Amino acid sequence: MNDNIELRKNDEVGEGSKNDQEIGAKGEGLTVYPQDLPKELRDLYGRLTSEAKFYFTYLKSNEEKKMFLEAVLAERKRQRKTGVLFINFFASLVVLLIVIGLIVISEKTEEQEYYFLDCEKLLKLKSTQSSDEKNAQSMMGLTFRAATRQRGRNFEVEIVNELKRLNKENVIKCVKESNDFNINLLRDAKVGQIFYQMSFKVHESFYIKFNLKGVIEIKDFRPDFIIVKESGDVKSLMICDAKSSKMVQRSHQIQVALYVYLLSLIIQDIPELNVSDTYGIYLSSFDLQEFSVKDLLPEIENFFSEILPRIIKSSNLPWHYNSRCNNCVFTNYCREEAKAKIDKKTVKQIIKYDEKLKSSFYLKMKPWHVQFVGATTNFPQRTDHNLLISMSWDPLLLRPFGWGICLYAIDNEKAIKQRIKCKSISNNEPRKAFIQLMNNFTDLLEKCFKYLKKHDLRACAFVYSEKEKEYIQDSLLDIISIESTETDIIELKRKAKSCLFNLFEDSKLLLAHKHHKYKLTELPDEWREIPRLVVLEQAIRENVAICVPGFYRFTDIWEQLVKPKLHDQELLNTLYPIKQIDLNNIYSSWNSAVPKLQINNAHSLRIQFGSAVINAYYELLKESTCDIATKLIFETPTFTFTKTKSFKNHYLGKLYFFKQLEAKADYEQIKSERVRDYIRNDIVDGIQIRYEKSIKPKEWIFSILSNKQKLIKLNSNQYYEQVLLVEDSPEGILQAIRFPDMKHMDHQVVQLDKITTSVRIQNIDLQKQKVYLKGTVKLNLDKDKTYLLYERYVNFNLNKVLEILCEIDNRGANSVFMNLLKNTNDWCSDPITLKEGQPKGELLEGRLQIISGQASPTIASFITWYLSSLHKPTGENTNHIIGVTAFSKTAIEKLLEGISVPKQVKIFNLVNKNIPLDKVKGINEKPIVIGGTVWDWDKIRKEWKDSWTGCDIMIIVQDASLAIECLNPETGKLIIGGDEELKPFIRRSYPSFQDHPLLFESIQKCMNYSLKNINNNGM
């Protein structure tokens, strides 16, 4: 028998679990089993594993329990008779539960939940959950989860109504129709018809294909909409789903792609039908986004052929328990199970377990003793005032229903509460009440900002939870998006934008200007070293060690951190019913139509709780160190209003914003290496070296002790000081963390103080393990003493890019770049894309060519052919100038090296040669190829000014598109090359907002959008 079943004699019993108490009572050597069960079933029950007994407890009635045990016994007898044993007893248990009809493995959302939570255990628990328990959960009342589902149902109704308004007769309701009826309806369907809420049974071939017949049963699936389209000689069925979400998530795509897969099997024998490879998702803006199913089909097949069978057969699944589990229906069960497993695996999920060091602060802590651990750059050392904000959210209408604000003055390290102001609206009030609620919110918040600015106070804003941060940001964006010419609304939008820019600095700020119709696009033009808005929940998770599994609940923070540190007995008594001020409970109370005063009081208490959390955080910190500056690394600056910049063209403004965002993300990644070493008190990311001697003025030799490969990588750039040299000590690392990289990012040499020095890697001798450094070192170097090198953030391009974007915006109609992007069709009379087999002569006539492929070799070979086919220059230039550009010096050198040109063609490389402009202009009637970076070309454009009309042909790599400005605006030809899948922001992932497609695609795709007359008016 399998190890999962422990055989005993008839007078022996199995080891019971806590759940046994619900079924039978434990006696002296005996177990009392459920009543009315035959002896042979009782014996079998005694041999169930504790895991199987847990699932046994999910069966509510004695009849179900009896059926379950009888089925297990029958299967046992079958196994003994046939000699065929399941590899794992628990697999047969799941099969039997399904065979007797007690469970169905999935509802509509369960595959979606699996992909969202990435939890195999969730899928297994779902597959063994009784229908009674599922029904009980659906009757729990209008919780956050239930309200979200209700919002989805409401949104589906809105989509149906909108479709009926546009095409009433062709929108057909199919609720509660049979499987065969719906299939026949599709067979006879007409092009243009839209069916909604069709229900289908999973085809038999699905279970056969994946060997799942008798193993699982998938419940009937119900696509929201099926649109009948014409596709050649057949009718194509396009499946669409409605999601009341602001953006498409991967779990949404998986769900709809599964519908496509299952429906394809159902209609496979109907020759006049097929299922479209394209599926759609309606978002809350009534925008239908279309996707291809091809990329997801292999993943779906892998799920049913590999992942799901393994999950069903396994009795020991990998699982996690973290903050994403908070709203899962099995949270409490997993928490109880995790309590018995406070080991390294569980610890990794509480605080970031260091994979390199194979350790964590939690592994060294005393059980049940709260500790402050590590250091942080995201919490203020000291403030003069703390601005605390709370906000509650209605998940049904997606808007706030209450808020609280209080500005605390800090006197002698104690928070002195000023007046707490709270506002709320009832659950049946119209949108007008929400607007007034936000008017009060923005008015008070802006007054707080003005007070802080007037008195030059150091301050941070605090919210307790990440959810509240999202609620505040989304509600401000909602106000900004209101279209109105009323004076009061315009003023409210101004205040909302001011609050948004002074609290946040992420990519969602782009939504403050959704559309091109705004006359000016105003976005932030500065970045902060320390965030203006601090999330207390996140700060505690990063720096406070509480010995609980998984994630910190509201009550954990109260019981183990705040309550022991709270010395105000009156406040302690006030906060005692702590669960009442949890956001879920505030929502439940509000939805029960309690008086506004009760909601306002809840927000007031939540504000006071937040202040108590801050005090407890600082008190715990002071217990761990005498110098908090070694733990809280950055000082809080005095409050100033965020600087902004306005653009006439909204896309240029957003590009300007994104370039800064990208740079800040790169800088933070580099800085994080210094922070990690400092927190760990161990050198893992830094490069450790030992000083040997000075060989000449400003040159030194060091021995390499660690991270040799990283040093070699940094050595690729030798024309500037690319590393910081500091002492090998916590103080030295701290100085490296505080080094102002962003301020000096475009300086080749930086000398600030006697502790932190930037130096250049002159040479590396791998054989002798030596590195040669050059620079002005102000440290007192001691022989055989160890030092550290950290990469310095360098960006010579950012300020130049920002400057050029501003110039393009100011030139407006005179900008080649903007005229091209506004309407590519008008700009080029015959746009042609290079295709295999296309007559090459045609390419010489078109004004715009787009070529795809690996940038340097593709463009180099194209230029070679193009030059050999040229006949005459264009425009009034006496010579024929062909500009070639890429973003970096290395890229342009590689590109020019790959060009094979006729003898009559002259090539200039602006990167390596300082070419007098008059020499270039003096060569007549010969094609001239000039290669340079974007910045080289920008210098030429400025120096030539009005005496030059621009290049006859401009050949650009996609990331060098700003050089388009050097093209002859009247007759110049443009050739764009590179990988069309390479997006402009390649080092980070950002949420792709549906109304900003061009910000997230390659320049080739942007051109193709315009060529197809898509979004031509969106610039």
User: Which of 52-66, 74-88, 125-139, 263-277 has the largest mean confidence?
Assistant: 263-277
Residue 365 near residue 537, CB atoms below 8 Å:
no
* Whole-angstrom distance, CA of residue 469 vs CA of residue 146: 22
In this structure, is residue 322 part of a structural domain? no
398 and 538 housed in the same domain: yes
Residue 211 vs residues 94, 215, 257: alpha-carbon distances, Å: 15, 8, 21
pLDDT for the residue 142: 46
Residue 8 near residue 29, CB atoms below 8 Å:
no
- Candidates 259, 268, 205, 249; CA nearest to 227 is 259
Question: Does the pLDDT at position 14 exceed 60?
Answer: no
Residue 556 lies in domain: 385-639
Number of domains composing the chain: 5
Q: What share of the chain is helix, strand, coil (3-state, %, to 5)?
A: 45, 15, 40
Look at residue 717 and give its three-state secondary structure: coil
295 and 425 housed in the same domain: no
∠ at Cα 1006 (1003, 1010), nearest 5°?
A: 140
* Whole-angstrom distance, CA of residue 558 vs CA of residue 367: 18
| CATH number, residue 784 | 2.40.30
- Candidates 691, 931, 942; CA nearest to 803 is 942
pLDDT for the residue 64: 55
Name the phi and psi angles at 952, rounded to 5: -75, -35
* Whole-angstrom distance, CA of residue 1010 vs CA of residue 827: 11
561 and 450 housed in the same domain: yes
Residue 783 vs residues 281, 549, 700, 922: alpha-carbon distances, Å: 66, 48, 11, 59
In this structure, is residue 560 part of a structural domain? yes
* Whole-angstrom distance, CA of residue 990 vs CA of residue 671: 20
First vs last Cα of the chain: how many Å apart? 71
Position with higher pLDDT, 962 vs 288:
288
Reported as a pLDDT band with limits 50, 70 and 90, residue 855 is: low
- Which residues are registered as beta bridge partners of 231? 234
Give the pairing type, strands 723-727 and 644-647: unpaired
- Candidates 524, 805, 527, 493; CA nearest to 643 is 524
* Whole-angstrom distance, CA of residue 359 vs CA of residue 372: 16
Question: Does the pLDDT at position 720 exceed 60?
Answer: yes
Count of beta carbons in the 10 Å neighbourhood of residue 31 = 18
Which two tokens mark 916?
Answer: 């007098």
Which two tokens mark 235?
Answer: 């009718």
Side chain identity, residue 360? S
Dihedral of alpha carbons 82, 88, 92, 95, sign: negative
Residue 889 near residue 935, CB atoms below 8 Å:
no
Residue 780 vs residues 20, 692, 787: alpha-carbon distances, Å: 71, 13, 11
Look at residue 681 and give its three-state secondary structure: coil
* Whole-angstrom distance, CA of residue 651 vs CA of residue 1017: 12
631 and 705 housed in the same domain: no
| CATH number, residue 959 | 3.40.50
958 and 907 housed in the same domain: yes
- Which residues are registered as beta bridge partners of 760? 774
In this structure, is residue 335 part of a structural domain? no
Position with higher pLDDT, 636 vs 870:
636
Question: Does the pLDDT at position 1002 exceed 50?
Answer: yes
Residue 820 vs residues 340, 464, 472, 967: alpha-carbon distances, Å: 64, 48, 38, 11
Of the residues 102, 133, 153, which one is the last residue of a structural domain? 102
In this structure, is residue 350 part of a structural domain? no
Question: Does the pLDDT at position 413 exceed 60?
Answer: yes
Chain segment 481-495, per-residue pLDDT in tens: 998 899 999 999 999
**H or E element at residue 371:** strand 371-372
Question: Does the pLDDT at position 789 exceed 70?
Answer: yes
Count of beta carbons in the 10 Å neighbourhood of residue 575 = 20
Residue 612 CB partners (closer than 8 Å, separation 6+):
562, 565, 566, 571, 575
* Whole-angstrom distance, CA of residue 380 vs CA of residue 635: 6
* Average of per-residue pLDDT across 9-27: 30
* Average of per-residue pLDDT across 933-960: 76
In this structure, is residue 1018 part of a structural domain? no
826 and 787 housed in the same domain: no
675 and 703 housed in the same domain: yes
Of the residues 70, 102, 134, which one is the last residue of a structural domain? 102
Count of beta carbons in the 10 Å neighbourhood of residue 570 = 7
* Average of per-residue pLDDT across 128-134: 49
- Tokens 């928490």 sit at which residue? 335
Give the pairing type, strands 906-909 and 953-957: unpaired
Residue 297 near residue 311, CB atoms below 8 Å:
no
Look at residue 46 and give its three-state secondary structure: helix
- Which residues are registered as beta bridge partners of 400? 393
- Candidates 449, 371, 375; CA nearest to 634 is 375
Reported as a pLDDT band with limits 50, 70 and 90, residue 102 is: very low
Which long-range contacts link 13-19 to residues 24+ away (Cβ below 8 Å)? Answer: 13/46, 14/45, 14/46, 14/47, 14/48, 14/49, 15/50, 16/50, 16/53, 17/50, 17/53, 17/54, 19/50, 19/53, 19/54, 19/56, 19/57
Residue 714 near residue 725, CB atoms below 8 Å:
no
Report the percent of the chain where pLDDT is more than 70: 67
Count of beta carbons in the 10 Å neighbourhood of residue 431 = 11
Chain segment 638-682, per-residue pLDDT in tens: 999 999 999 988 878 888 888 898 888 889 999 999 999 998 888
* Whole-angstrom distance, CA of residue 72 vs CA of residue 836: 65
Reported as a pLDDT band with limits 50, 70 and 90, residue 63 is: low
89 and 161 housed in the same domain: no
Question: Does the pLDDT at position 358 exceed 70?
Answer: no
782 and 886 housed in the same domain: no
Look at residue 696 and give its three-state secondary structure: strand
* Whole-angstrom distance, CA of residue 339 vs CA of residue 327: 19
- For residue 532, the Cα-to-chain-centroid distance in whole angstroms is 21
- Which residues are registered as beta bridge partners of 387? 407, 461
Of the residues 260, 295, 313, which one is the last residue of a structural domain? 313
In this structure, is residue 558 part of a structural domain? yes
Which two tokens mark 773?
Answer: 């450094």
Look at residue 138 and give its three-state secondary structure: helix
In this structure, is residue 318 part of a structural domain? no
426 and 539 housed in the same domain: yes
In this structure, is residue 497 part of a structural domain? yes
* Whole-angstrom distance, CA of residue 773 vs CA of residue 189: 76
Residue 259 near residue 241, CB atoms below 8 Å:
yes
* Average of per-residue pLDDT across 941-947: 71
* Whole-angstrom distance, CA of residue 713 vs CA of residue 122: 43
Residue 512 near residue 497, CB atoms below 8 Å:
yes
Which two tokens mark 783?
Answer: 């022989």
Question: Does the pLDDT at position 997 exceed 70?
Answer: no
Question: Does the pLDDT at position 47 exceed 60?
Answer: no
* Whole-angstrom distance, CA of residue 722 vs CA of residue 744: 12
**H or E element at residue 322:** none
- Which residues are registered as beta bridge partners of 291? 279
Chain segment 529-573, per-residue pLDDT in tens: 889 999 999 999 888 888 777 778 888 899 999 999 998 898 888
Position with higher pLDDT, 997 vs 461:
461
* Average of per-residue pLDDT across 718-743: 90
309 and 407 housed in the same domain: no
708 and 823 housed in the same domain: no
Give the pairing type, strands 385-394 and 521-524: unpaired
- For residue 797, the Cα-to-chain-centroid distance in whole angstroms is 26
Question: Does the pLDDT at position 945 exceed 70?
Answer: no
HEC-encoded secondary structure of 543-555: HEECCCCCCCCHH
